[in-house]
Amino acid sequence: MTAPVSSNDAKYQSGNPILRRLIARFQRRAVELVGRHRFTSVLDVGCGEGHLARVLLDRFPGVAYTGLDPSSAAIEAAKARCPAASFRVAGVEALDADPARYELVVCSEVLEHLSDPTQAMARLQARCSGAALLTVPWEPWFQLANLARGKYLRGLGNHPEHVQHWSLDGFREAASPYFREERAEALFPWILYVGAPR
């Protein structure tokens, strides 16, 4: 096991068996939801260290996979984890200069970090020609789960980088101007949302 690049990477490398089971269940469900669509191109915005990318590439080999993340360390880890994919250092704002459209757009555990998630969703919508998979923490359960494992106690379980907090209905409402909902569900402690661009 390599040294974690970020708190996100540390979560995926955790030895906690409960957390590992929750992550594995989350990844399986993400694969099931996107597997209802046909796609040959994927854009993963905020790909981090490529953990979800690796799962998707294993399940859907041969797709053209592009990942973006503002962290150069995360991108290096993603390249090592998924050498057949294309990764580059870029934030969601870089989508404004990218005319390409992708059959599947993924944005997992990113929107809660952004001061203006609606602007980000508009950018994701503009790059999406088929389906989008969006995931965010399911609140207040995500915070309560952190408290239960003794994390972020000063913030009552809130990750210090999380500035947005959604219930399932709240996230459905936030996404509705940009995507036609296909499926939205709470899978403790996350929300998974699949929609088509409006």
Q: Tens digits of per-residue pLDDT, 133-152?
A: 999 999 999 999 888 888 88
Q: Give yes or no for a cis peptide into 70 (omega within 30° of 0).
A: no
What span, in angstroms and rounded, lies between the C-alpha atoms of 84 and 27?
20
**Topology of domain 7-197, per CATH?**
Rossmann fold (3.40.50)
The domain locations on the chain are 7-197
> What's the whole-model pTM score?
0.94
How much of the chain, in percent, has pLDDT values that exceed 90? Answer: 82
Note the helical H segments in the chain: 7-12, 17-34, 51-59, 72-81, 117-127, 141-148, 168-175
* Residue % of the chain over a pLDDT of 70: 99
For residues 41 and 106, the answer to whether their CB atoms sit within 8 Å is no
How far is it, in rounded angstroms, from Cα 127 to Cα 149?
Answer: 38
- The 8-class DSSP code of residue 161 comes to T
pLDDT at res. 164: 97
| 53 closest CA partner among 115, 120, 109 | 109
Q: What pLDDT is attached to residue 148?
A: 87
- Segment 28-48 shows an average pLDDT of 97
Q: What is the pLDDT of residue 112?
A: 97
Contacts of 127 (CB under 8 A, 6+ apart): 43, 95, 98, 100, 101, 102, 105
**Burial class (CB within 10 angstroms; exposed 0-12, middle 13-18, buried 19+) of 140:** middle
State the pLDDT confidence band at 1, using cuts at 50, 70 and 90.
low
Residue 113's Cβ-count burial label (10 Å; 0-12, 13-18, 19+) is: middle
Instruction: State residue 103's pLDDT score.
Output: 98
Tens digits of residue pLDDT in 63-120: 999 999 999 999 999 999 999 999 999 999 999 998 999 999 999 999 999 999 999 9
**Mean pLDDT of the chain, nearest integer:** 95
Check residue 92 and report its DSSP letter: G
- Indicate the pairing of strand 190-197 with strand 128-137: antiparallel
**The amino acid at 18:** I
- At residue 150, the pLDDT reads 85
